[in-house]
Structure 1
Amino acid sequence: MSLRRLAVSSFALIGLALAGPGHDGSPSLGATARAQTAPPAAQASAAPGPTSPLPPIPGCPLLIASGNPQYPPYLWRDPTDEQKLVGANADLMQWLATEIGIPVETRYVGPWGRVQEEMRAGRIDLIAGAFFTLPRTEYMDYFHPAFRETRSVIWTRSASPVPYKRWSDLAPKLGVTVINNSFGVEFDNYARQSLKISQVASIEQAIQMLQRGRADYLIYEDTPAEAYVARNGGPAIQPLLPAIAREGLYLTLSHRSRCNTPELRGRLARAVYKLSQERVMNRLVEQGFVLWRKQPSL
């Protein structure tokens, strides 16, 4: 064999060795070389190591969360245990507990107004879903970004809809909503000055007032109101557009919580950021709808 043919054959054999694994499945010389020369980030992503559990925070063995208990598919009372809240936001609190390394218990402590009083006093630690208002910043910390965007709309009887295109169209009409609800700073200020809106204790009561003609319109978020209407029946009501507000739902922490420390706030901030990046809430809301539809009402 000539020297030239010997050289060509040798290069071909080296190429085969570099190209693929051996017949026994062991890595080839080329694969080994590529692994050794790959950047550290690529090697790390290919074989992630186990994450270390977060250490406990002294004086904070448990976090108590609550929220609006008339808020399907996000939160409502468990028919089998009325002291417990279930729904998408309750599931979110369990996800959060895993992320921050501290157990979270989601309890029913009363209607939405009472929840805010308990938060102000520090008797609960977290609210699992609150709109942003300036007065609320006086007693609780907000964690950004919002974990869910919601839409508040005008609901009216389908048989006698209110002509509505702008907020001022509501001025001659009588409205109803649930006590201590907020629909954004701008609308709240306008409503206080220009609209006649009664406040009642529950969304079910508000829907019944609208259906019976004791109010001309209802202001509430579209998804929870739709859930109640689908379960309770009665005369048809419908949402009107444009929406009066689009608001974010935020995780909040009481200023007076014994657990409100820089360490916990840091863990919560990182968890909420991860939540927004991974779109966890989409799956939890779908699960909440399924659970709400199959559970009996209290």
Structure 2
Amino acid sequence: MLDRHLLKSCVLAISCLSVSSLSFAAGSCERLVATGNPNNPPFMWRDPQNPKQLMGAQADMLKKVAKDLGVRLDVLYSRSWEKAEEEVRSGRIDLLSGVELTPASLDDLDYIYPSVYSHDTVVWVRNILSFPYIEWADLRDRKGAKAADALSPAFTDYAKANLDIEQGANLSQVFQKLMLGEVDYVLAERESSLARATTMGLQDDLLPLSPPIEGRPMYLALSHNSACNDAWLRGQLAKKMTEIAASELPESLIQKNLQLWKQQQSEPASAPKVAQ
């Protein structure tokens, strides 16, 4: 039988080792860098007062997560969505916010579940019209329009066979057609289209209908090549995203950032802060 004092010493040593290992795991990454789509308000857009940074609902959410984990976070501007993806795949940036799940991207990214936001494509109509809508078939016998938003193969096939939808040059153009009565509805993503309608002064004239035509979840993803990618961080990120998804925070951040976007569009341009 082991000597009682020796056994006590072994237990104490193991306990210290466990605490030390846990501390190392929790503190192995003191700084995270994230990026995302710089042209997707209210989710993310370039901060006019700090052009090297991104702001928006997703940026605010990431900052809360980092604060809860005791990790420093920078949400950096990467010029374009394609550049953001490239920077994260390489590991030069750790986190990519707002990425949709595709088989090819699993080669480079660990997706954090659940998603908090999604790109919901909805039917937009003039706010003065009665437009009964519950399902795709309700769009028959009406003329629609869409901009560059990609839709699922299932809806695309259905639309080709059953609907009259013209392709517009951009969202502003198709919204103008809608207001002029040249089309009956527009198919476009809900939140980003609301931001665009705000810049056009149409936020009270246009109405998004429910339910969405379709939704595409947007995930937070961690680069396989990130020096911070370990089991502890992936687990903590998943835990925080689960908590946030079950709360009212996502919607409150959307509303807050829609107001910020609207305010920025109405203010005269000012000189950005100079990086020190």
User: TM-score scaled by structure 2?
Assistant: 0.65
1:128 aligns with 2:92: no
User: How big is each residue's C-alpha offset from its partner over 1:70-108, in whole Å with a ceiling of 9 and x where there is no partner?
Assistant: 221x22222223332212211112112123333221122
Matches within 5 A, 1:256-267: 256-267=225-236
Q: Which has the higher contact order (CA 8 A, sep 6+)?
A: 2
Q: What is the distance in 2 between the residues matched to 1:237 and 1:227?
A: 12
Q: What is the distance in 2 between the residues matched to 1:205 and 1:110?
A: 25
Which stretches in structure 1 are left out of the alignment for 5+ residues?
1-51, 183-187
Q: What is the distance in 1 between the residues matched to 2:27 and 2:197?
A: 45
Q: CA, structure 1 residues 106+158, in 2 after alignment: closer, same or farther (shift >3 Å)? A: same
User: How big is each residue's C-alpha offset from its partner over 1:182-234, in whole Å with a ceiling of 9 and x where there is no partner?
Assistant: 6xxxxx1224445467586x755664576678977543332332232133226
Q: Percent identity?
A: 29
1:67 aligns with 2:3: no
Q: CA, structure 1 residues 199+115, in 2 after alignment: closer, same or farther (shift >3 Å)? A: farther
1:275 aligned to 222, 244, 247, which one? 244
Which residue is equivalent to 2:52?
83
CA contact (8 A) 2:41 2:261 kept: no
Q: What is the distance in 2 between the residues matched to 1:208 and 1:118?
A: 37
Task: Quote the offset at 1:153 in angstroms.
Answer: 0.1
2:109 aligned to 123, 137, 140, which one? 140
Q: CA, structure 1 residues 56+155, in 2 after alignment: closer, same or farther (shift >3 Å)? A: same
Matches within 5 A, 1:146-161: 146-148=115-117, 151-156=120-125
1:220 aligns with 2:184: no
1:190 aligns with 2:158: no
Match of 1:96, SS? helix
1:102 aligned to 63, 68, 71, which one? 71
Q: What is the distance in 2 between the residues matched to 1:259 and 1:133?
A: 23
* Aligned alpha-carbon RMSD (Å): 3.9
User: How big is each residue's C-alpha offset from its partner over 1:212-267, in whole Å with a ceiling of 9 and x where there is no partner?
Assistant: 78977543332332232133226944334442124444222233334323232123
Task: Quote the offset at 1:287 in angstroms.
Answer: 2.7
Which stretches in structure 2 are left out of the alignment for 5+ residues?
1-22, 160-164, 270-276
Which residue is equivalent to 1:285?
254
Q: CA, structure 1 residues 207+131, in 2 after alignment: closer, same or farther (shift >3 Å)? A: farther
Aligned residues: 237
2:146 aligned to 154, 163, 176, which one? 176
Match of 2:147, SS? strand
Which residue is equivalent to 2:8?
none
Q: What is the distance in 1 between the residues matched to 2:85 and 2:183?
A: 26
Q: CA, structure 1 residues 255+177, in 2 after alignment: closer, same or farther (shift >3 Å)? A: farther
Task: Quote the offset at 1:278 in angstroms.
Answer: 4.9
Q: CA, structure 1 residues 286+213, in 2 after alignment: closer, same or farther (shift >3 Å)? A: closer
* Max Rg structure: 1
Match of 1:89, SS? helix
User: TM-score scaled by structure 1?
Assistant: 0.61
